Amino acid sequence: MAKVEVLCCGQVPFRNNPKTMMTQPSKIPHVLSVAGSDSGAGAGIQADLKACASRHVYCSTVITAVTAQNTVGVQGVHILHEHFVAQQLNSVLSDMHVDVVKTGMLPSLGIVKVLCQNLRKFPVKALVVDPVMISTSGDVLAGSSVLAGFREELLPMADIVTPNLKEASVLLGDVPLKSVSDMRAAAKLIHDLGPRNVLVKGGDLPNSLDAIDVFFNGEEFYELCSSRVNTRNTHGTGCTLASCIAAELAKGSSMLSAVKTAKQFIKAALDYSKDLVIGNGAQGPFDHFLALKNVNQSAYRQNRFNPDTLLLYAVTDSTMNRKWGRSIAEAVKAAVEGGATIVQLREKDIETRDFLDVAKVCLKICRSHRVPLLINDRIDVTLACDADGVHIGQSDMPASLARTLLGPEKIIGVSCKTPEQAEQAWVDGADYIGCGGVYPTNTKANRTIGLDGLKDVCQVSKLPVVAIGGIGLSNARAIMEIGVPNLKGVAVVSALFDRECVLTETKNLLAVIS
C-alpha cells in the first residue's frame, strides 16, 4: 500500500554554488511556456512570464490561442493554426537550449500533436503539463476532442501533470471528486495514463479549511496542505503553480521540492495580494512580484538554498575570538577567504544593537564572497539586517512559525538529534538540519549521538544534513565517509575559531572534507 505523508509547505531550495558561480560560465535556467494569451494578464502566457521572472528563470513563449478575457470571464477565443504553432516551437527549441517545457491552454488536437512531435525532436529536461480545459471562472478552454491527444500522446511524455479537481474529473471521464480520498484515487488513475508524477490540486475542495493538494510519484502519496487565503484574487493560480514548478525544475530542484516551493510561493503571493483591486469581476489577478516590493533588496540576494553550501559550515564564537584578539568580522572574513561555504553568527553574550551592527558588517563580507550568512536563534536580527536565514534549536520557536515570519525566501536550519525531530523539521518547512553533537564539545554540554546516531538521522531525514559537534581535522573525513548521500558537510566552531590562524585552519579542513 502506498505511503501517505501530510506536509505543511514552506521550503524554498537554494541552488547557487558559491565556489563556482564566479569562475564558471553561467547558463540561465530556461522554461518554454506553450499556452494561450490572456488579455487581462492574470493567467496564461502572461502569468507564466511573471511567475518565471519572479523565480529568476528565463521564459520563452509559444502562443497557442489569443483570448479576450478580464476579471468577469472569457469573452472570446481565437485559436492559432497548428502550422504557426509548430513554427514557433521550432524557432525556440532549435536555438535556445530550453531546460523545461510547461504547457497551458492547448485548444486543438492538432496543436497537441505538433507539440509532441517537436518534443520528440528536441528533448528537454522535463515536461510540465497543466491540463487547462476550464478557466477559474468556469469557461471551457479546450473541447473534448483534445482529451484523446492528452491521454494518448501528451500525458505519457509528461514528468508531472497538475490538474485541478474539474480537470482531473474530465481526464477520468467526469468522475466526481469530493474528498481527499477521491483525490488520491484520481492521482493514481491519472498516473496510470503515463505521467511520472501527478499533482491533483484541491483548491476547490468543498468543506475544507485548508488548501490540500495530493502529490503522487507512483510509489508514495503526499498531502500538501496550507491555510486558505480569503481573497477574490485567484485568477491564474493554476498557471502560476505549474510555471513555478517548471522554473524550479529548470534550476535543478527535485520534483517534490519544486512542487512544495511552488505551493509556498502561491500562498505567499495570494496573501500579499489579497486586498488588491483590479477589475470588477469575481476573479481578480494577484501580484507575482511580492518579493520585489515586500523584501528589502540588496545588491546581492541569494534566494534559493543549495545543499552544497553546507560543506564547510563555520559557526562563530565571540569568546574564542576575544581569546585570540580578533573581531567577529575579522574572523568571518578569514573563514570565507579560507573556503567556508556558509557562516552562522552564534553570539550569545552581545547586546542586540551591537549584534545587529556586527551582522551587517559580516553580511557585506559574506555577500562579497557569495557565501550565505545565517543568524543563530535571532529572527529579529535576521530580518533587521536582511541575512540569508536563521538557524534555530529545539528549544526555540518552531520552524513553521519561523517560516511564517521570514517568508519563503529565507533559509531555515533546525538542530536535530533524533529521526523524529528531523521528520518534524521537514514537515515544518526547514531547509536543512544540523545534526549532533556527534562528538563531545567544549561549546555545549549536550548528549552526543556518535556516528551511528548521525547515520540514523540522515537515513530518515528528507532534508540535507550538516554534522556538528566536536568536529575537526582528525575526524572530519570519517564523518563525510559514513555513506549517506544527504550528509552534505560539517559544522565547526573550535576547529576554526579557537586557533591562531582562521584562514589556514579553514583551508586545511576544506582540503580534508573535499
- The residues annotated with a catalytic role in the active site are 201, 234, 236-239
CA distances from 380 to 20, 146, 348, 349, 485 (A): 31, 53, 14, 16, 34
Answer whether 83's CB lies under 8 Å from 91's CB. no
Using CA atoms, how far apart are residues 338 and 361, in angstroms rounded to an integer? Answer: 18
Answer whether 169's CB lies under 8 Å from 132's CB. no
- What DSSP string runs through 411-460? EEEEEESSHHHHHHHHHTT-SEEEEE-SS--SS------HHHHHHHHHHH
- What DSSP string runs through 459-480? HH-SS-EEEESS--TTTHHHHH
Answer whether 88's CB lies under 8 Å from 64's CB. no
429 burial via Cβ count (<10 Å: 0-12, 13-18, 19+): buried
Strand partners, 8: 225
- What DSSP string runs through 290-322? HHHHHS---SS---S--GGGGSEEEE--HHHHH
Question: Which element (helix H / strand E) includes 62?
Answer: strand 58-69
Total residue count of the chain as it appears in this document: 514
- What DSSP string runs through 2-19? -EEEEEE---------TT
Q: Which residues of 229-243 are buried (b: 16+ CB within 10 A; e: fewer)?
A: beebbbbbbbbbbbb
- What DSSP string runs through 214-233? EEE-SSEEEEEEEE----S-
